[in-house]
Amino acid sequence: MESMSKEVDDHQVSLSPIYVLFNLLLVIKLSTSNPYEGGGGTGPGYDYTPAEHHQEQHVHIEEHHAEPPHGEWKKKLTWKEDWQKVWKVEKKEFWETKWKQVAVPVWKEFKYPVWKEERTPEWKTTKKPVWKERDVPAWKEVKVPVWKKINKPIWVEVKVPVWKEHQVPDWKKIWVPDWIKMGIPGEKYLGKDHEGWEYTSHDLWRKKMIWKPEWKKVWKTEKKQEWVTEKKLQWKEEWVQEWKTEKKQIWIKEKKEFWEEQKVEVLSRKTI
């Protein structure tokens, strides 16, 4: 530890002229430069340069502003106190750690004889009643399905031909009387009046009855075959399930008492 501290001190002493030269250069640079350069004023962080004049333009509105005061800014060198880290050589006391053998108390386990009482088991045979379950055969009546064939009557619809009378139109030729006008050719003497005037007629007409043929619609009865649905009884074979009683052997649980031997532990004291 002491050797390491000595090496550090020698190294610092050997580098001290470099640090002194570096510090001198730093002081010269600080003395020649303005610490507030770029701020635009004499104080840190404040910009006292006059702002540029901006004229706002609005539609149909004209405003007149007073002109800002004109000035001139100059740089002034001032001296400011500041702290700077430098290195100096000093002597420092170090403590050295060494190992030394000393006697300390230690607890150690060891065994020594002691008399104590223990219980030693002794076994005794006894009989104890025990109920045990066993399977006993028994008969039980159960129903089993049996299929039986039977004839079952069912009604089936069948088509049966039937003759049915219905009216059919028919046309029949008949003769009907008809009066027609018939012209009488020539002149016809009609007679005289009381004054002696004679009367005659020309182109007379007379009625004449003739028989005129006509067709008349009549209805006649005819037979026509039709199919009518009828129910017919038929027998259909069908299997029906029936239940038949039978005996079936089953096993039931039954409890029965048994005597079984059992060893019981009897404790006795024994000094060891």
User: For residues 151 and 30, which has the higher predicted lDDT (pLDDT)?
Assistant: 151
CA pseudo-torsion sign 8, 14, 19, 20:
positive
Average pLDDT along the chain: 78
pLDDT at 54: 45
Distance CA 185, CA 203 (A): 6
Is residue 170 within 8 Å of residue 218, measured between CB atoms? yes
Per DSSP, 35 falls in state T
Name the residue among 240, 37, 75 with its Cα closest to residue 145: 240
**Both tokens of residue 207?**
């009625």
pLDDT band with cut points at 50, 70 and 90 for residue 6: very low
For 183-216, give one letter per residue: b (16+ CB within 10 A) or e: eeeeeeeeeeeeeeeeeeeeeeeeeeeeeeeeee
Alpha-helix runs per DSSP H in the chain = 2-32
pLDDT at 75: 82
Distance CA 78, CA 42 (A): 9
Q: Considering the entire predicted model, what is its pTM?
A: 0.24
**Both tokens of residue 120?**
């030693």
pLDDT band with cut points at 50, 70 and 90 for residue 191: confident
Name the residue among 159, 205, 164, 200 with its Cα closest to residue 181: 205
**Phi/psi at 103 (5° precision):** -90, 125
Q: Per-residue pLDDT for 210 more than 50?
A: yes
User: For residues 37 and 66, which has the higher predicted lDDT (pLDDT)?
Assistant: 66
Side chain identity at residue 163, one-letter code? W
**225-240 average pLDDT score:** 90
pLDDT at 269: 62
Is residue 251 within 8 Å of residue 136, measured between CB atoms? yes
**226-238 average pLDDT score:** 90
Per DSSP, 255 falls in state E
Q: Per-residue pLDDT for 233 more than 70?
A: yes
User: For residues 216 and 94, which has the higher predicted lDDT (pLDDT)?
Assistant: 216
pLDDT at 264: 82
Is residue 41 within 8 Å of residue 48, measured between CB atoms? yes
